[in-house]
Structures are given as C-alpha cells and as structure tokens.
Structure 1
Amino acid sequence: MEISLLLSFLGVAVALTLLPGPDLLFVMTQSVIQNKWAGIFTALGLCTGLLIHITAATIGISAILYQSSVVFSIIKYAGAAYLFYLAWQAFKHSSAPVEIEN
C-alpha cells in the first residue's frame, strides 16, 4: 500500500470521526429543547440501537437478509409502518411551539 493512499485514508477517517453527525445533532437538539435527561436517554437509545445492529451483523443476519428477499421485504415494510406510526403519534400529540428563554 502506498503511503499517500494510507495518509489520505487516515485524514478522511480522522475528519469523519471529529465532525458531528446526525446522531450528535439529535442528542444536542433534545438536550436543548427538553432537558439534559432527554439528551442522556436519547444517547442511550442510539447506543442501544447501534449495539443491536452490530450484534445482528456479527451473527450474520445481514447475510440472511441479503439472500432472502421475502424476509427483507417484511422487515422493510414493518419498519416503514413503524415510522408512519411514530409520525402519527407525533402529529396527534403535537402541542404549541416551545419557547426558549434567553
């Protein structure tokens, strides 16, 4: 492997590690809008989801889903239905906008 390719890879890896992603922005938003406990529980939920995903990938669930289009479709549509359910709950329980004091 060439040294220039390795340095390019390391530079991109460090930049991606240091830049905030959507998870961090979501945790910060929940902390600012609600309170620190909402941010903590949001971070714990995101970490739990990451652990589940890593575990599934480790035991080979992704290979099974890749081979079986029926199972993949079931999971895909169940996930879409769950997102619609969450959107409906958010719409149904929406309240007045939150005012933040300076």
Structure 2
Amino acid sequence: MSLEFLITTLIVVVSPGTGALYTISAGLRRGGRASIWAALGCTVGIVPHMLAAITGLAAILHSSALAFEIIKYLGVAYLLYVAWATLRDTSVLSVEADVADRSVRQVIVEAVLINILNPKLSIFFFAFLPQFVPASAPNGLAQMLALSGVFMAVTFLVFAVYGLFAAAIRGQIVRRPAIMVWIRRSFAGAFVLLSARLALTDH
C-alpha cells in the first residue's frame, strides 16, 4: 500500500459529499451514537459498489445508459426524500440521552441507501482502484480487496469524526430554535443540490 493511495483516499473521503452530510446531520439531529451508526451505514453502503467494481459489473453499468439512468434517478428521488424528511424532522429541538432501537435501524438504513443509490461510486471504484494495482500483479484481486478495506476504514473514521463533532456542539445549538430551523433548511437545501448534481451527471 502506497503513501499516494492513503493521501488520495483521505482527500476523497474528507471532501464533503452525501454520506458526510448525512452523518453530520445525524449527529446534530440525534447525537453522537446516531452519528456513529450513520458513519457505519455509509461505510457499509460502499460495499456493493466496491464488489461491483472488482467483479467488473461497474463496466456494465458504465456501458449501459439505461441501467445507469435507472439507478441515478432512484438516487435522486431518495436524496429529495431525505431533504423532505429533514425539513419535517423537528426532533432535533429536544436533546435525547439515547437513540431508540427503531431510530438506530432508521439511521443505518437511510445511510446505507444514500451510498447504494449513488452509481458514481461504482464508477469511482472502477477508475480508482486499478491506478494502485499493477495489471501484472499476480494477486491483483487480493490487493484490490485490501485497498477497498482501507478506503472503507478511512471513510468510517472520517465520517465518525464529522458526526461526533456535530454531536459535540449539538447541545449548544439545540437551545437556539431559530438556529436549528436554519440548519434544517440548510441541510435540506444541500440534499436538494446534491440530488440536482446527481441528476445532471452523465454516465
């Protein structure tokens, strides 16, 4: 594993995207525990794309305009749903000591779906991993699996830091309802913008 891979991975993961945004939102809305579950869910949501890239399914997705468009617009619809749900969720106005089991399941499912319904992740892995695995490598599959594992570990750690930081300042923010309303609207708007960017993406 090269230092170049680690640096590139860190840059990619640190850059704000739907997963990071959702994890931060979970930390603000439901606290530290929820943000960890969100980070885990977003990381698990990477697995199908990683496997698709490694097995070559990403190439099929990339070559099939119809398949790409179907998955893309499912992702757009889900991001718009998340934006709508964020606007409607007023639970952030009360600080809960813990998160109920149902809420944990909801956070994980939402986080997993956010990444699963992003077809660009498959294309990203398909283009990203081969750069760090020589074509002549006798154990190329094992190397790609190892690199993918590192990518997922970095994703979880970075997202968890984002979420825990959001949770740490949550107590100060939730005592100011006007700020919480503004934050909810900002996150909802950000999810709408991300959905628009995904909708305009060409395969």
TM-score by length of 2: 0.36
**Residues 16, 26 of structure 1: CA spacing in aligned structure 2 closer, same or farther, 3 A cutoff?**
same
Match of 1:57 in 2: 53
Shift of residue 26, structure 1, vs aligned partner: 6.0
Pairing 1:1-102 to 2, within 5 Å after superposition: 10=3, 13-14=6-7, 17=10, 21=14, 22=16, 27=23, 30-31=26-27, 34-91=30-87, 93-95=88-90, 98=93, 100-101=171-172
Cα pair 2:61 2:67 within 8 Å, conserved? yes
**Residues 30, 87 of structure 1: CA spacing in aligned structure 2 closer, same or farther, 3 A cutoff?**
closer
Match of 1:6 in 2: none
d(CA) in 2 for partners of 1:19, 1:60: 22
Q: Which has the higher contact order (CA 8 A, sep 6+)?
A: 2
Q: Which runs of 5+ in 1 are unaligned?
A: 1-8
d(CA) in 2 for partners of 1:34, 1:71: 35
**Pairwise CA RMSD:** 3.5
Q: Which runs of 5+ in 2 are unaligned?
A: 94-169, 174-203
Q: Which deviates further from its counterpart, 57-66 or 21-30? A: 21-30
> Residue 171 of structure 2 aligns to a residue in which SS?
coil
Shift of residue 70, structure 1, vs aligned partner: 1.0
Structure 1 segments, 4+ long, off by >6 Å, are none
Shift of residue 41, structure 1, vs aligned partner: 0.1
Shift of residue 53, structure 1, vs aligned partner: 1.7
Shift of residue 20, structure 1, vs aligned partner: 7.1
How many residues align? The count is 93
TM-score by length of 1: 0.63
> Residue 100 of structure 1 aligns to a residue in which SS?
helix
Shift of residue 31, structure 1, vs aligned partner: 4.0
AA at the equivalent of 1:82: Y
Shift of residue 33, structure 1, vs aligned partner: 5.6
